[in-house]
């Protein structure tokens, strides 16, 4: 499962890297560290632990940062994995705030309630928690994480549900002009609302929910992990995919993957079992075999998205269309009309439930949820301060 977690993290980092090229130039030099204020509005009385783990951009080393933003490289790991040094930072008590400093990283800010997380090191680096595995030592711990990149071009900080939906939080940034933007807050009752929606959805979606032996609801796994663990049937998306293939055997699917390049278009038609895309000259530029549910929910395998100028952008657009079930209602993609999203009976009901319960409608419920700017992301070229606000579990 380590490979899957690593792939997910690298996909998020690669996506962030793509965003970096589109960001505005920094108004002033970005400092080596910036303050991150963590506010505990969870209402929980148990201890809170915070971790800042990632890759140091100047050297490519993996490690962690302490509360002052100082970097510490991980020591060598082993086989079997060896315990990692304790990188935890004491978090604020309920109703309080704590400010730490975060360095130039691409990585994750973890937080856990009641127990410290268990991290181990292999010869290949850090073993991330893999709660889809019942034997993972972090399986019964209530925790979550945010992802961020801080570099010369500024800060990108998001709330993510790509791997799981769990302890709620919002992210924010104070810009150079003193204004603050935030995203990720749930509606009142939204945390329980997500679990209620999954329980009410037929077809195995309730099986994504993991509960501790004391009755505490810990999280809902992403549908990708649901398929991989057997919680969701492997054919859960087949009906929709089959209808897409039938439709575009006689119709054309037009993909314009770049919002700033509307003239760049690719034209898809199904031939046999392959959805081929041609450019304006009629030359075939790439093709996709009929994807299974794992490929759809993970935006990988048969919907692989390399960091190139053609296949990757087309694949990201298709991935969004499959997860939001817009490919049958709109032959021009991406469809950015939110009223069209998740309307088919066969769709990513996990993503549907999460977006329905966020205060601003934004979330990172699958890998390319940023298509059409539906992602829960804050960004600034000259950040003064970042924020992580832990919300009630209700």
- Asked whether residue 156 falls in the same domain as residue 305, the answer is no
Residue 171 pairs in a beta bridge with 183, 388
- Asked whether residue 171 falls in the same domain as residue 314, the answer is no
Q: Based on the structure, what is the number of domains in the chain?
A: 2
Residue-number span of the structural domain to which 300 is assigned: 238-345
- Asked whether residue 41 falls in the same domain as residue 156, the answer is yes
Q: What is the dihedral of CA 345, 206, 356, 254, to 10 degrees?
A: -40
What's the CA gap between 215 and 218, in Å, rounded?
A: 9
- Asked whether residue 298 falls in the same domain as residue 363, the answer is no
CATH number for the domain spanning 318: value is 3.30.920.50
- Asked whether residue 259 falls in the same domain as residue 221, the answer is no
Residue 23's pLDDT band (cuts 50, 70, 90):
very low
- Asked whether residue 178 falls in the same domain as residue 244, the answer is no
Annotation marks residue 188 as catalytic: no
- Asked whether residue 222 falls in the same domain as residue 77, the answer is yes
Q: Give me the percent of the chain exceeding a pLDDT of 90.
A: 91
- In tens, the pLDDT along 208-224 reads 999 999 999 999 999 99
- Asked whether residue 177 falls in the same domain as residue 243, the answer is no
- In tens, the pLDDT along 103-156 reads 999 999 999 999 999 999 999 899 999 999 999 999 999 999 999 999 999 999
CATH number for the domain spanning 129: value is 2.60.110.10
Query: How much is the pLDDT for 28?
Result: 57
- Asked whether residue 261 falls in the same domain as residue 203, the answer is no
The CA distances from residue 309 to 58, 234, 266, 286, 312, in Å, are: 26, 31, 12, 11, 7
What is the average pLDDT across 77-97? Answer: 96
Annotation marks residue 163 as catalytic: yes
- Asked whether residue 206 falls in the same domain as residue 166, the answer is yes
Q: Is the pLDDT of residue 9 over 70?
A: no
Classify residue 35 as exposed, middle or buried by CB count within 10 Å of its CB (0-12, 13-18, 19+). middle
First to last CA, the chain: 30
Residue 394's pLDDT band (cuts 50, 70, 90):
confident
Catalytic residue among 66, 152, 163, 369: 163
- Asked whether residue 190 falls in the same domain as residue 328, the answer is no
Averaged pLDDT score across all residues of the chain: 92
Catalytic residue among 32, 66, 86, 147: 147
- Asked whether residue 325 falls in the same domain as residue 369, the answer is no
Q: Which residue has the tokens 């053609």?
A: 310
Residue 190's pLDDT band (cuts 50, 70, 90):
very high
Asked whether the whole model's pTM tops 0.85, one would answer yes
């Amino acid at each position: 499962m380590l490979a899957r977690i690593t792939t997910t993290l690298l996909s998020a980092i690669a996506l962030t890297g793509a965003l970096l090229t589109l960001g505005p130039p920094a108004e002033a030099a970005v400092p080596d560290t910036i303050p991150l204020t963590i506010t505990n509005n969870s209402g929980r009385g148990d201890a809170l632990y915070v971790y800042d783990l990632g890759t140091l951009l100047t050297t490519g080393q993996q490690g962690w940062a302490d509360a002052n933003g100082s970097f510490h490289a991980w020591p060598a790991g082993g086989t079997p994995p060896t315990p990692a040094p304790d990188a935890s930072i004491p978090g604020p008590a309920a109703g309080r705030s704590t400010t730490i400093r975060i360095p130039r990283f691409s990585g994750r800010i973890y937080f856990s309630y009641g127990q410290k997380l268990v991290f181990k090191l292999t010869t290949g680096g850090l073993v991330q928690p893999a709660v889809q595995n019942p034997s993972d030592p972090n399986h019964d711990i209530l925790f979550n994480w945010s992802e961020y990149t801080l570099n010369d071009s500024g800060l990108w900080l998001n709330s993510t549900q790509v791997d799981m939906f769990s302890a709620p939080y919002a992210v924010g940034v104070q810009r150079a002009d003193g204004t603050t933007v935030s995203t990720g807050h749930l509606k009142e009752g939204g945390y329980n609302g997500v679990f209620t929606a999954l329980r009410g959805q037929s077809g195995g979606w309730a099986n994504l929910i993991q509960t501790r032996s004391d009755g505490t609801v810990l999280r809902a796994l992403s549908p990708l992990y649901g398929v991989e663990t057997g919680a969701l049937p492997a054919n859960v998306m087949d009906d929709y995919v089959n209808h897409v293939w039938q439709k575009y055997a006689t119709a054309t699917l037009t993909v314009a993957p770049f919002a700033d390049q509307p003239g760049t278009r690719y034209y898809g038609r199904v031939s046999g079992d392959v959805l081929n895309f041609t450019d304006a000259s009629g030359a075939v530029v790439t093709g996709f075999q009929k994807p299974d549910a794992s490929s759809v929910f993970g935006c990988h395998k048969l919907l692989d998205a390399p960091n190139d100028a053609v296949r990757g952008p087309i694949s990201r657009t298709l991935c969004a269309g499959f997860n939001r079930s817009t490919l049958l209602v709109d032959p021009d993609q991406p469809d950015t009309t939110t009223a069209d999203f998740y309307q088919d009976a066969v769709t990513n009901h996990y993503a549907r439930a999460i977006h329905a319960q966020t205060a601003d409608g934004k979330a990172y419920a699958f890998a390319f949820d940023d298509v059409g700017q539906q992602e829960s992301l804050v960004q600034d070229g000259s950040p003064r301060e970042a924020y992580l606000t832990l919300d009630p579990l209700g």
